[in-house]
Structure 1
Amino acid sequence: MRNIQERTIGASAETLGALLDRVATADDRLWPVPAWPRLVLDSGLTPGSRGGHGPIRYSVSEYEPGHRVRFLFDPELGLDGHHEFTITADGPDRCRLTHIIDGTLRGRMRIMWPLAIRWLHEALMQDLFDNAERAATGTLSSRPANWPLWVRLLRRVRAGRPASHDGTARR
């Protein structure tokens, strides 16, 4: 299984890299909380650091400050592989933030990924990309991400009435 999501942002790779370097810190401006479970790592972005978000567990396997961070999934998750964020400069004031999941699904994850987790993951990434663009440029070049009906239903079933991007209850 391979899932790739990316967004081009009108900011320098250095600006976006500085935001990536603060993921899972008290000053994290990328991770979309409170709408999604907070990303927590026991030793920050250092290789070997363990953590995750919600039930998704992983550890940092590689970190290139300002450019890339790769996480290995916990073997008990049922997904053998990794996910990573990369930043690629497309010019002095234009870069791409890319998120890739690459792995093999096992056990119940072979059903859970296509049915639910993929949809939730893609919604979370769009919210994160919105945060990245706002933090790097002060605005969004398009409308904010809108969760598909399936994502809203999954979140409602799993945790009751989900929070919106601004922390208020969604209708």
Structure 2
Amino acid sequence: MSVFNVHERVLMADAGRVGALIDTLGSHEDLLWPHRDWPPMTFDRPLSPGAMGNHGPVRYTVTAYVPATWVRFTFRAPHGFGGFHEFTALPLDEERTVLRHTLAMNVRRTARLTWPLAWRPLHDACLEDSLDRAELACTGAVERPARRSPYTRLLRGLVHGLS
């Protein structure tokens, strides 16, 4: 089963400012990843090609990186995930930039069930929280904060109850 999932937000900031958020991923100064509410993104070395990282049970390798522009992560786990996810800063004009997260993968075996039932709702909520953080970092406020569905809140409760 193929999955193509995109989350994006137009931010009132130039591409350099938005791209700089990508550069903070996994660092102590991470302004993009919602590490207070979700497992933090960590790497075995600074963000660069070859760095191995994770957030919770999701494992990946940095396979491409253009500072202040784009980073791609290729999945190593969970079992059944084959593909990548990436952040990209796309300038619209001098004052507006689209921050986009793209996930493209093929899911196999049990992931054909776990992706739509559990992983996708959690992924979608986490990414919307990430875009909220980006908007806050760029503008000082979040115009329309992400809201979690009752189902996503239930899943988060179950996950936290297991840890």
Q: TM-score, normalised by structure 2?
A: 0.94
Gaps of 5+ in 1: 162-171
Partner SS, residue 74 of structure 1: strand
Alignment partner, residue 82 of structure 2 = 80
Alignment partner, residue 14 of structure 1 = 16
- Is the CA contact 1:57–1:77 (under 8 Å) kept in the aligned structure 2? no
Q: Which moved more, 1:55-64 or 1:40-49?
A: 40-49
Alignment partner, residue 92 of structure 1 = 94
Gaps of 5+ in 2: none
- Distance (Å, rounded) in 2 between the aligned partners of 1:75 and 1:26: 24
Q: Calculate percent identity across the aligned residue pairs.
A: 41
Alignment partner, residue 160 of structure 2 = 159
Q: CA deviation at 1:44?
A: 2.2
Q: TM-score, normalised by structure 1?
A: 0.90
- For this pair of structures, how many residues does the alignment match? 161
Deviating 4+ runs (over 6 angstroms): none
Alignment partner, residue 65 of structure 1 = 67
- Distance (Å, rounded) in 2 between the aligned partners of 1:63 and 1:50: 13
Report the residue type matching 1:28 in the other structure.
Answer: D
Q: CA deviation at 1:55?
A: 0.4
Report the residue type matching 1:103 in the other structure.
Answer: M
Q: CA deviation at 1:8?
A: 0.6
- Distance (Å, rounded) in 1 between the aligned partners of 2:90 and 2:76: 27
Alignment partner, residue 25 of structure 2 = 23
Q: CA deviation at 1:32?
A: 0.6
Report the residue type matching 1:157 in the other structure.
Answer: L
